[in-house]
Structure 1
């Protein structure tokens, strides 16, 4: 029996209004792997996640989930296999938190069936894993942005996906909640789920990710382990800043310290001096 990775993209491209947003991207996410998408704002991270989740259709190329082209998959089959946690946690639905999480069970229910006790148990477990059990009876619209982010992650977990897509999952979260979320992502990967997440903090990315895909202007400019990709040279090329990669004084994990390029600092100084 052939084993397929949860995700493989083959030369996918995407244009909007004549502008190429994703350009010939190949990537693979293995089961049991936490893969991070990094790159500056506008690099195409969110767009790529939407293409993988079939929220957008590629202009060219193909997306395969478990070896099957998404263009031939029924919507329910895709929803059972993959879940997307969006960056924006907005909704017009006036639902309790538990009901929002139970929406993640929809792909597993019959057309006329409501959630049963087993589905409620799965939803409550998802809330517990995201540290949000205390919110279960509150109204979703009454929550803060960070609290909503955790609830949407719980909804995705309730889908029981083989592939979890996350767009800035630590957005709006305080430091404690960021670390809790990243630890959860790491544990999900260790449970043989494929996790693909767009992240901004390069130090936290280097600490938790097995693999990093670096995007710049819609193209993959590097792919590999944190040590192979997050080099001072690549960071300067992609982000336009100087970076020093140093070991953490306690456990040796990589820490990345940033400073502006001298040329950028000189321009800024000349502006303020009136030159």
Structure 2
């Protein structure tokens, strides 16, 4: 490495195509726009009507953008859509961001809520990744990035299905890394801390919980979706070509406390 040009190349996504699920708002939208700013073309997967603003943002960055309408509560639909995308597009990077959360006591969780959370957060993630990883393996390179959580390490309160799904995402990240690394594919995850998004609105609306959480974060503030962009670009870019099976925590220091 001899100069700035080499460092820039390490973080460039020029000529790459990245697929992001759940990019309509929050973390997914920020990551999608960050990858576009780094030079990637985008495929956005989820309910199409909700992704138009993100698609417009990608276009404003002069990158190509395709929106694929998929109901990620249906794992078979996710698998079939991913197979179609793999036939039509050469996807180099996948960010599995889509996720849902329900808040209820352990004794009150319904089978419907359990299944819905696991279907979106884990099962659709797996089958979508499976279909897109196959052509990556044939080409000898690719990046799979899963969005985990602090609840990949902790149990949380009143979020049992979500915690189970995110523990599983961390384990799946490592399992897939072990099998796909020989094919030139890096599989990693990002575990956001407490980020100000729709998913955490209930916590931020509870004065006691908001204060207790904020006081534990060494950085002294909740994160924003923009705080995840650097990690996403790093794991998508050549800079991370020797990083595999890692869960990168971006939490303002919460886990260190």
Q: Going by fraction, where is helix more abundant, 1 or 2?
A: 2
Q: TM-score range by the shorter chain?
A: 0.3 to 0.5
- TM-score w.r.t. the length of structure 1 is 0.33
Greater C-alpha radius of gyration: 1
